[in-house]
Structure 1
Amino acid sequence: MIILFSILNLAVILLFRTILIIIFGLATYQICLTTFKQSISKENKVSILDKYSSVIPYWLPLLEGSMNFGMRVISQYPKQILLLYNKYILPLLEIYIAYPMLAFVVFFLLYYLFIRLDRPIQTSSFVRFNIFQAILLFLINSVLGASYKSLPIEFRSSFVGLAMTNILFLFTLSTIFYSVVKSIEGKYPQIPIISEAVKMQISDIN
């Protein structure tokens, strides 16, 4: 029974590693392809500034998802990903964890400055769309994280619990990478349900 459990656990870990490598590979390929196309394109509807400004807010759900799920399973991922995580995400994550109110301050500032109708900062609908989508992803990760932490520790430490953690972390990574790639392309990321909710609030989307 113990041997079977170990084999299943190893199989799940290998599966998640493979999926993550594929996601990273596709994201890297898409970014490189998009950059090349943009370099030879004469017409671009979304400015470079808007594209890369739209990427920044996605740090918020990334840190929230990393805190809730990533820290528990990141050691199982390939060494290269672990090195990137430790170099770029972990330092910010330590600050994020040390000051838990910081996330909500950033959340309210983003909403106040960019989303509400009488916002003080006027920016393009493309940037506002991505900011609002990042906010929704942050809220979803917060709710999922709180729900997950309310489960018994025995369940969270079990095979099923670790598998669930991996799935939730992959959900966080995949939605953020997809959104970042689409933002760099100058296209609106289309995440089912979430993007539709954003469009209902951002009325000036073409």
Structure 2
Amino acid sequence: MTWRGSITISDRIFSTLVYCFAIFDTAYFGTYLVQQFPAFNFLLLPAIPVGLTYNLVSSLLGPLGRFGSFLVFIILFAAVVRNDRISHFIRYNAMQSILIGILLALGGIIMQFVLMPALRGGIIIETLFNVLFLGGLAASYFSMIQSILGRYAEIPTISEAAYSQVRW
């Protein structure tokens, strides 16, 4: 949907870059699949600058550095999503990237505190990790490709939530 206004090259670039945060969040779930298929490391390359930035923030802030992901969420939400001077296309994609990250974080919490203690590891946990990893990568890369093409990525439920949060 490009009817919301003209989408410049810089809008496309910045909208693509925000999905590097979602890929970084996805990397946690790739441990099993990346061990079996090291070629998947290639798909995690966009997350390297984000990881380096988080490490820098962590070293600068000390004990508060472990909240780097939360700080990035607050900064992206306050400075990008709620900033009316930034184009709708960038704000929408930033919000969608945040929502992908939130879903992955919720999946991680459920896995860590509910499923892993109940199931004590095994094939079911590995399968769920792989599903979250591949789903997060698919959603992120699909959205990146759509952003490069200048289109709004439509992911069921996530896109609707992103539209509802981004003001005109």
Q: Normalising by the residue count of structure 1, what TM-score does the alignment of the two structures yield?
A: 0.66
Q: Tell me: CA distance 1:48–1:192, structure 2 relative to 1, closer, same or farther (3 Å).
A: same
8 Å Cα contact 2:27-2:44 kept in structure 1: no
Whether 1:80 and 2:46 are equivalent positions in the alignment is no
Displacement after TM superposition at 1:90 (Å): 5.6
Q: Tell me: CA distance 1:76–1:94, structure 2 relative to 1, closer, same or farther (3 Å).
A: farther
Distance 2:68 2:11 in 1: 25
Q: Tell me: CA distance 1:186–1:156, structure 2 relative to 1, closer, same or farther (3 Å).
A: farther
Q: Which moved more, 1:170-179 or 1:99-108?
A: 99-108
Q: Tell me: CA distance 1:156–1:128, structure 2 relative to 1, closer, same or farther (3 Å).
A: farther
Partner of 2:97: 134
Distance 2:8 2:157 in 1: 27
Secondary structure class of the residue paired with 1:101: helix
Matched to 2:39, the amino acid is: Q
Secondary structure class of the residue paired with 1:100: helix
Q: Tell me: CA distance 1:182–1:85, structure 2 relative to 1, closer, same or farther (3 Å).
A: closer
Partner of 1:152: 116
Matches within 5 A, 1:1-206: 45-67=6-28, 69-77=29-37, 79-82=38-41, 84=42, 89=47, 92-93=50-51, 96=54, 99-116=65-82, 119=83, 122-150=85-113, 151-153=115-117, 155=119, 157-204=121-168
Distance 2:52 2:117 in 1: 23
Displacement after TM superposition at 1:65 (Å): 1.7
Higher-Rg structure is 1
8 Å Cα contact 1:96-1:102 kept in structure 2: yes
Displacement after TM superposition at 1:157 (Å): 2.6
Q: Tell me: CA distance 1:72–1:114, structure 2 relative to 1, closer, same or farther (3 Å).
A: same
Partner of 2:61: none
Question: In the TM superposition, what whole-angstrom CA distance separates every residue of 1:123-161 from its partner, at most 9, and x where no partner exists?
Answer: 110000000111111111111111111123573631121
Matched to 1:183, the amino acid is: S
Secondary structure class of the residue paired with 2:6: coil
Displacement after TM superposition at 1:114 (Å): 1.6
Distance 2:45 2:166 in 1: 35
Question: Once the two structures are aligned, what percentage of the paired residues are identical?
Answer: 26
Question: In the TM superposition, what whole-angstrom CA distance separates every residue of 1:42-95 from its partner, at most 9, and x where no partner exists?
Answer: xx931110001001111222111212x113431112x4333x267664675476
Displacement after TM superposition at 1:201 (Å): 2.1
